[in-house]
Amino acid sequence: MKDVVPTRQVSRRMFIGGALAALSVPLASSLLTGNALAAPSPVLMQAKADFIRLSHLLTGHPSLDASMAERLYQHMLTLYPDFTQQVRALAQFVDANSPGADTLHPALLQQQPALAPLPAAILTAWYLGVVGTGKQAVCLAYENALMNQAVRDHLTPPSYAYGAYGTWATKPQ
């Protein structure tokens, strides 16, 4: 006895929908990975180097976590459309005037007031681990944020368990 394979008719709508779905996969793939696979431009590479150099100056730390620097930099690029230009302008200002971290803000207020908020945004990102403000704020680091690294020899970050449940109830000695 022969096996009978039922035939299925494909409607025009189903064919067009399937064709559109198949054609949209390469487009969606290129849109999602386009920035990640693209070679960084020299301007972006210079801005990233300037960001790291400014971060060293502002925080006073000679060595900073490279992966955290990358995350902070990428999110600042996303949130602030002119971040690359601002970082470059701030780096040029620092190169030209050689201010210390303590005199940078007053110097910026006098000579480049448009750049004055940038050092505070960079410091906030490094010390709090948060980029942006309000509804745009993104927390990128907690335990590795510099505010918690500064006291790690004596304190664990807040909300981390110091011991078993209820240890907070006994009086310290």
Is residue 29 situated within a structural domain? no
* 96-131: burial string, b at 16+ Cβ within 10 Å, e else: eeebeeeebeebbeeebeebbebbebbbbbbbbbbb
pLDDT value at residue 28: 58
Is residue 170 situated within a structural domain? no
Residue 137 exposure: Cα atoms within 13 Å on the Cβ side: 11
Is residue 1 situated within a structural domain? no
One-letter amino acid at 63 equals: S
Residue ranges in the chain modelled with pLDDT below 70: 1-8, 10, 15, 17-40, 155-163
Q: d(Cα 159, Cα 54) in Å, to the nearest integer?
A: 31
From the number of C-beta atoms within 10 Å of its C-beta (0-12, 13-18, 19+), residue 72 rates as: buried
Is residue 143 situated within a structural domain? yes
Is residue 84 situated within a structural domain? yes
Quote the number of domains for the chain: 1
Cα dist from 107 to 86, 104, 114, 123, whole Å? 16, 5, 12, 17
Is residue 57 situated within a structural domain? yes
pLDDT value at residue 160: 57
CA proximity to 57, closest of 6, 122, 121: 122
Q: Give the other-Cβ count within 10 Å of 7's Cβ.
A: 5
Is residue 127 situated within a structural domain? yes
Range of the domain at 80: 42-150
Is residue 120 situated within a structural domain? yes
pLDDT value at residue 34: 52
Instruction: Quote the tokens at residue 165.
Output: 């449940």
